[in-house]
Structure 1
Amino acid sequence: MVRNNPNVVVVTILFLLLSLPLVSCEECSSKYEGGCHDKNEALKLKVIAIFCILLSSMIGVCIPIFTTSVPALKPDGDLFVVIKAFACGVILAIGYMHVMPDSFADLTSPCLPQHPWHKFPFTTFIAMISAIFTLMVDSFSLSYFKKKLPVSSSVNNLETTKELELGHVHGHGLAIANGHEKNVNAEQLLRYRVVAQVLELGIVVHSVVIGLSMGASENPCTIKPLIAALCFHQLFEGMGLGGCILQADYGVKMKVIMVFFFSVTTPFGIALGIGLSEVYSDTSPTALIVEGVLNAISAGLLNYMALVDLLANEFMGTKLQSRIKLQLLCYIAVFLGAGGMSVMAIWA
């Protein structure tokens, strides 16, 4: 159910973007206009951006998945926990410092009528509703799959059965304890899987929007710093998502699907923006509303996931609660990740 959500979101975004009006407001100026305007040079940079961002995204999301052979980087290792905390700080800053300001800029644009867009804080309202809705999806998904856990977790049942058989040799009480432990681990695994899929959903929405914005730009002076900013953005965001995918312990097929969607959404958005650049107007009221609403939804989702499902879940867990020094290192990593990505807002 949750697994197919990225596909549905991408199709919905495409439908909305293709339905944008072709006529823009004459009194409004494009956010990409300025002294630097060269369509051919911008196109070259956008093609370079597609390959650079694709490569950065793939490297970022694959680093946690393909470094499991290094003992220090295993999911239960201290270094992995610190790196994940850094990546969570990056995701948090992306929501607060990149996505939400973009939504504010779109939904308070002078191209939109004063009433109601300038009379009500739609960005924060939509972000709040998005966070609550994410909590609902998170909660209902866990409740639904927990009810099916004893039936669907065939591997878990097999392991529990084996340990029950061992219990006849070593003692019945030990077998029951081991069986209970396995059920707890299965529930935690389910939690990781829901978190990974919901997080990817928010990232996919945001990635298509920022890719479309870059693809529609014809200002090389704006695109050049954006390429570097988005490469770092995708690299560290990918590390955060990759860590969640690794902890979710998916099969190869599901890992490939999630890595593929994360890696291609921003380049796909850029390609879509290039294709629509002749008819797409970033000053169109419909374009501003669609982008603003999608960014606000993504901001609420990312902020909730970063604070509740990633940071709070990690810092309130037994591993960090029992080790103050490691907890302090993780807090420093969070501040470094959030601070570094916040500084990058200057160039983005």
Structure 2
Amino acid sequence: MVARHEAEGEELNCGSGGGADTYFGLRVASIFIILVGSTAGALFPVLARRTRWLHVPKPVFDFAKYFGSGVIIATSLIHLLEPAVDALGSECLDASWSEYPYAFGLCLVSIFAIFIVEVAAFRWGTSKLARLGVQHDAHGHNAGAHSAHGPEGHPSASTKEIKSELDSDVESASDVYVLDNAATQIIGVAILEFGVFLHSILIGLTLAVDEDFKILFVVLVFHQTFEGLGIGSRLAFLNLPPGYNWVAIAGAGLYGITTPVGIAAGLGVRTTYNPGSTTASIVSGVLDAISAGILLYTGLVELLAHEFLFSKEMMKASNGQLCYAIGCMMLGCGLMALLGKWA
């Protein structure tokens, strides 16, 4: 924003009332267009895994899953952290904001805050299971993840003994485990969606009043659809009991409406809202930095590490399957990073 003003030789507008009011009809239409794209992107992986009538081939579903993981990682750095640095470095802000890299600091705090929340959630769940006589590896997210890190927890036990113990644990308390696992999984997804919601609301506000509406609109249609695939692939793999199946669909629906809500709100305050103002720069910069930390942690730990390093299925997969998964992830990351050139 600042660079554009400097290039055009315009005077900085750090107050209110700086939003553009052109293409009003198209801006209104963008609410519904982005709603469809976002919702479709988020719902596709969920419905593809939970319904049989779609008949989606496994390679296609895997593509959406790994592609979405790459999208989330690229979003955290290119679409959140970089704009946060730009916003908190605006010339409209007081000079004290330039004395410390606040965007990176807030991102760092966010990463450790999410880490602590997740550790607390897993310790609570593990403690609850231990009182019921069930041992479980908190690093895994399913009953079969006990050996995700190898048999270091049973140095003197044989593979058969470990398998027998795991089977016994699962059979004796599978219902309790699934319920507990549901709570920890929901917490993890809620954290991810919280970060995405903040980002989506802010870009919706920006789209409603930005002068370069046409370019931003086209980019955001792809941006939100790709990001929806990332959210949807995470929601699709929630291992929830039948009574909780609505959580995944509700999460996809909530994601779908966030940017349209932001656009509608921006249109409502377009005569007073200036995305380059002092207040808007601080708010968007802080929220983008926090969201960047959330998505970065989720992308690297919850998706990248657990889908590859700690996944028994992936570790036993053929070289071709592994290359396909990594290629899908890199494609999602690359395309989302490329979109950062325009938005």
The two structures have a TM-score, normalised by structure 2, of 0.76
Q: Does the 8 Å CA contact 2:125/2:180 hold for their aligned counterparts?
A: no
1:259 alignment partner, one of 252, 273, 287: 252
Partner of 2:326: 331
How far is the alpha carbon of 1:83 from its aligned partner? Answer: 2.6
The counterpart of 2:312, out of the listed 310, 315, 318, is: 318
Is this contact kept in 2: 1:64–1:246, CA < 8 A?
yes
CA separation in 2, counterparts of 1:27 and 1:174? 68
**Match status 1:270 vs 2:263:** yes
CA distance in 2, matches of 1:121, 1:199: 24
| Aligned counterpart for 2:231 among listed residues 220, 229, 241 | 241
Residue 132 (str. 1) matches residue 132 (str. 2): no
Distance in structure 2 (CA, Å) of the matches to 1:312 and 1:190: 21
Q: Tell whether 2:78 aligns with 1:97.
A: yes
Normalized per residue, the structure richer in helix is 1
Aligned length in residues: 295
TM-score (ref. length: structure 1): 0.75
Aligned-partner Cα distance in 2 for 1:110–1:175: 62
1:344 is displaced (CA, Å) by: 1.0
Supply the AA of the counterpart residue of 2:118.
D
Distance 2:190 2:27 in 1: 29
Greater shift in the superposed pair: 249-258 or 317-326: 249-258
Percent pairwise identity: 30
Residue 227 of structure 1 corresponds to which residue in structure 2? 217
Q: CA deviation at 1:120?
A: 1.0
- Structure 1 residue 238 displacement after superposition: 1.1
Displacement after TM superposition at 1:184 (Å): 6.7
Where does the alignment leave 5 or more consecutive residues of structure 2 unmatched? Answer: 1-9, 133-163
Pick aligned residue for 1:145 from 110, 113, 125: 125
Q: Is the 8 A contact 1:103 1:296 kept in 2?
A: yes
> 1:189-219 CA distances to partner (integer Å, 9 max, x unpaired)?
55543332221111111111111111232x2
> C-alpha offsets along residues 210-238 of structure 1, whole Å, 9 cap, x if unaligned?
11111232x2xx11121221111111211
Q: Is the 8 A contact 1:86 1:334 kept in 2?
A: yes
Equivalent pair of 1:193/1:245 in contact (CA under 8 Å): no
How far the C-alpha of 1:253 sits from its partner, in A, is 3.5
Q: Residue 39 of structure 1 is aligned with which of 6, 17, 21?
A: 21
After TM superposition, the structure 1 = structure 2 runs for residues 57-72 of structure 1, keeping only pairs within 5 Å, are 57-68=38-49, 69=52
Structure 2 residue 103 is matched with structure 1 residue 123: yes
The residue number in structure 1 matching 2:161 is: none
Q: Deviations over 1:53-112 (max 9, x none)?
A: 1000110011012223279758xx555334311111011111111111111111000111
CA distance in 2, matches of 1:174, 1:314: 21
Q: Say if 1:113 and 1:70 are closer, same or farther in 2 by CA, change over 3 A.
A: same
Structure 2 partner of 1:214: 207
Contact 2:67–2:229 (8 Å) recurs in 1: no
Residues 173 and 246 from structure 1, CA distance in 2 versus in 1: closer, same or farther, beyond 3 angstroms?
closer
